[in-house]
Amino acid sequence: MHIRLMLTALLAGLLSSLPQPGETSSVMRSDADNAGVGVSEVPLADPYILLDGDTYYAYGTNDPDGIAVWTSTDLLRWTKRATLALHKEQTSERQWFWAPEVYRLNDRYYMFYSANEHLYVATATSPLGPFRQQGSCMTKAMLGDEKCIDSSLFIDDDGQAWLFFVRFTDGNCIWMCQLDDDYTTLRPASLKKCINVSQSWEDRMGRVNEGPFVLKHGGIYYLTYSGNDYRSQDYAVGYAQSRTLSASTSWSKYTGNPIVRRVEDLLGTGHHSFFTDKEGRLRIVFHAHHSASEVAPRLMYIGTMEFVGNRLQLSTEPIIRPVDATRHPEGGLEAIHDVWRDTQPSGIYTLQGLPASSACKNILISQGRKYVR
């Protein structure tokens, strides 16, 4: 009973520090305050999360030998798998394995990633891998040896697959191109430039539009991206919109950009992706700098997004700061979470920062086979 009272008091203190519905946290934490769960313990830059079955799989930029994978069932506690999802020995490259995204398509898992600043696809029969490179550089037949990074897949309602990626044609610019039904072959005739640096917040440190990811909501396509050099504390997320998706599509940037910048106490918040969680909520996963004085290792964080009319924005829900499950075994954070969940009325925040409701609807995300309409 004494332990339960202590836990209840601890949780009451945590609850009082969380922003209430309709409020935005303005609390800035020092490095000392950020000990424990205050700072993410998952060192993934350019993160991507796939929900497959009852498990979340997180991939990102981190390992020099390929692409690591972390797993979780609750978005808070994560376990790094002992084996890389993609090892360089299963590729034709030997360095710079960046920005992976994994999709379940036709009962196989497709990983889109860049290596040595070229685009590739690798496949596997499990989200854990081992993934093996398929064919050569995706853009070779179309762009030759030109370097490209940050590939992202979007499959429209009609089944047409599009690849969005970055070329270095005016700083970092975002382009798009149709894919054949094999999800690996690009159609040169559909190659189209989407956006380049055009807003003042985007070039405070380099001319950068990168890290594309596309959503569809209410008949509108949202091309989300990151602006500024990743080393800038103002690295941030914005978006552009279009009502069509074709080789003649024109994108218009949202005048209220950026929509994710210096969130809570975090700096360098960018290179994101979206997914829907088990409750159907639209989530954003992004990286942030290690601290106010150090960029690396960049760390993974998870927030909640919402549409207000045709405007996409970060909600006021607290940011999830993932922890390493090996450092917080059963009986640790899980016990605290159980007390919180079992003793609080519905509608209150859980320890993970998840709201009681607010499932997303009418949103198309090319997350494996999961289409939320």
Structural domains of the chain sorted by starting position, each given as residue range(s) with its CATH number in brackets: 2-364 (2.115.10.20)
Please name the residue ranges forming H helices in the chain. Answer: 2-17, 140-143, 333-343
**Confidence band of 361 (pLDDT split at 50, 70, 90):** low
Share of the chain above pLDDT 70, in %: 79
Q: Which pLDDT belongs to residue 364?
A: 76
Rounded-to-integer distance, Cα 136 and Cα 141, Å: 10
Tell me whether the omega of the peptide bond preceding residue 297 falls within 30 degrees of 0, making it cis.
yes
Answer positive or negative: Cα dihedral of 346, 349, 352, 354.
Answer: positive
- Complete edge-to-edge strand list for the sheet that includes strand 77-80: 45-52, 55-61, 69-72, 77-80, 323-324
Rounded-to-integer distance, Cα 41 and Cα 205, Å: 27
Q: Which pLDDT belongs to residue 360?
A: 54
Rounded-to-integer distance, Cα 323 and Cα 187, Å: 42
Rounded-to-integer distance, Cα 195 and Cα 8, Å: 50
> Average pLDDT of 153-172?
97
**Confidence band of 363 (pLDDT split at 50, 70, 90):** confident
Q: Which pLDDT belongs to residue 341?
A: 36
Residue 227's DSSP bridge partners are: 209, 236
* pLDDT tops 90 at residue 329: no
> Which of 107-121, 245-259, 357-371 has the weakest average pLDDT?
357-371
Residues 6+ apart with CB under 8 A from 123: 108, 109, 110, 111, 131, 132, 134
289-322 core/surface letters (b: 16 or more CB in 10 A; e: else): bbeeeebeebbbbbbbbebeeeebebbbbbbbbb
Q: Are 111 and 60 in contact (CB under 8 A)?
A: no
DSSP state of 319: P
**Confidence band of 353 (pLDDT split at 50, 70, 90):** very low
In tens, the pLDDT along 176-216 reads 999 999 999 999 999 999 999 999 999 989 999 999 999 99
DSSP string, 108-140: EEEEEEEETTEEEEEEESSTT--BEE-SS-TTH
Amino acid of residue 320 = I
Query: Which of the pair, 65 or 6, is modelled with greater confidence?
Result: 65
* pLDDT tops 80 at residue 19: no
**Confidence band of 344 (pLDDT split at 50, 70, 90):** very low
Give the Cα-Cα-Cα angle 55, 61, 63 (nearest 5 degrees). Answer: 95
Q: Which pLDDT belongs to residue 362?
A: 67
Average pLDDT score over the chain = 84
N- to C-terminal Cα separation, the chain: 47
* pLDDT tops 90 at residue 175: yes
**Confidence band of 369 (pLDDT split at 50, 70, 90):** very low
Rounded-to-integer distance, Cα 38 and Cα 136, Å: 42
In tens, the pLDDT along 235-259 reads 999 999 999 999 999 999 999 999 9
> Average pLDDT of 66-77?
97
**Confidence band of 38 (pLDDT split at 50, 70, 90):** confident
DSSP string, 341-369: HHHSPTTS--TT---S-----SEE--BTT
* pLDDT tops 70 at residue 27: no
* pLDDT tops 50 at residue 34: no
In tens, the pLDDT along 87-104 reads 999 999 999 999 999 999
Q: Which pLDDT belongs to residue 367?
A: 60
Tell me whether the omega of the peptide bond preceding residue 258 falls within 30 degrees of 0, making it cis.
yes
Residues 6+ apart with CB under 8 A from 88: 65, 66, 94, 95, 97, 115
Place of tokens 């909640």: 304
* pLDDT tops 50 at residue 7: no
Report residue 163 CA to chain centroid gap.
Answer: 17
